[in-house]
Structure 1
Amino acid sequence: MLWQGKSIRKVTGGRYAPLRGKRRTEIGKSPAETHIGVDRKKMIRTFGGNVKVRALRATYASVANRSTGVCKQVKIETVEQNTANPNYVRRNLLTKGAIIRTELGRARIMSRPGQDGVINAVLVE
């Protein structure tokens, strides 16, 4: 699990006096790490009873063509580039900003699959 509480250290390097201990609500979840494969989604209950949909695996992406204004559902072939982490290319992980190869051509993912549960992309010319 990921700890998402406030840092103990100041910018100058000094320490903050802790006002209270850790809280259960401040613990984060592990990343979804969306792969290419047969569609699989997971529902996560969040703060206030809301729901996040995590895409664990995905086959298709909604790819928009800016020049024609048309959006199509196309099959994802592979991940070509990912500036977040070069290792994600080898593992075929889908994250926001990743360049994927589809049936229409290269596209950049604009959505967050681990947060939204869908993959929206825009063609790269």
Structure 2
Amino acid sequence: MQWQGRSVRKSTGGRYNPSCGKKRREIGSAPAETHIGIERRKVSRTYGGNSKVRALRCEFAVVSNTKTGETKKVKIEKVEENSANPNYVRRNLLTRGAIIRTELGPARITSRPGQHGVINAVLIE
């Protein structure tokens, strides 16, 4: 958890005079780092008392074929490429924009698994 409010220091090195202290609502959360594995999700409380579903482990993706217009739920085999971080390929982390190998072929993830709780992808031809 990390506080995401304004810094106490100015760019010149001087200090702001804080009108109030740090608040719980200003605290962020650790990244979900969704892996390939048996389905596991976590529901977390968000701003305003709402909830967010975070996918911690996923083994299936909802893959759409843009040419035929059909959508299928298929098993994820492995992460082929991830432009967010090259180490994510080794660790099989699923993020938006990652290219995964599925039963239908390679697909690009279009959803944000750590924010949405599901993995949607489009087939790459």
When normalised by structure 1's length, the TM-score is 0.91
Task: Note the C-alpha offset of 1:42.
Answer: 0.8
CA RMSD of aligned residues (A): 1.4
Give the whole-Å Cα distance in 2 for the aligned partners of 1:30 and 1:53. 14
State the Cα distance separating 1:21 from its structure 2 match: 2.2
Structure 2: runs of 5+ lacking an equivalent: none
Say if 2:24 is the partner of 1:24: yes
* 2:109 is the alignment partner of 1:113: no
Alignment of 1:1-125 (within 5 A): 1-8=1-8, 13-14=11-12, 15=14, 17=16, 18-125=18-125
Over the matched positions of the two proteins, sequence identity in percent amounts to 68
Deviation at 1:16, TM superposition (A): 6.0
Structure 1 ranges of 4+ moved more than 3 A: 7-10
Q: Output the CA distance in 1 between the equivalents of 2:52 and 2:61.
A: 19
State the shift of 1:9 in Å: 5.5
Q: Which protein is richer in strand relative to its size?
A: 1
Distance 1:68 1:19, change over 3 A: same
Letter in 2 for 1:96: R
Structure 1 unaligned segments of length 5 or more: list them: none
Determine the C-alpha separation between the residues in 1 that align with 2:113 and 2:7: 28
Letter in 1 for 2:53: V
In 2: Cα distance, 1:40 partner to 1:120 partner: 16
Q: What CA distance in whole angstroms lies between the structure 2 residues aligned with 1:114 and 1:52?
A: 9
User: What is the distance in 2 between the residues matched to 1:120 and 1:2?
Assistant: 29
- 1:1-38 Cα deviation digits (max 9, x unpaired): 1221124456xx33561443221111111111110000
Query: Which amino acid in 2 is paired with 1:117?
Result: G
Distance change >3 Å, CA 47–CA 109, structure 1 → 2 = same
Q: Which SS does the other structure have where 1:89 is aligned?
A: helix
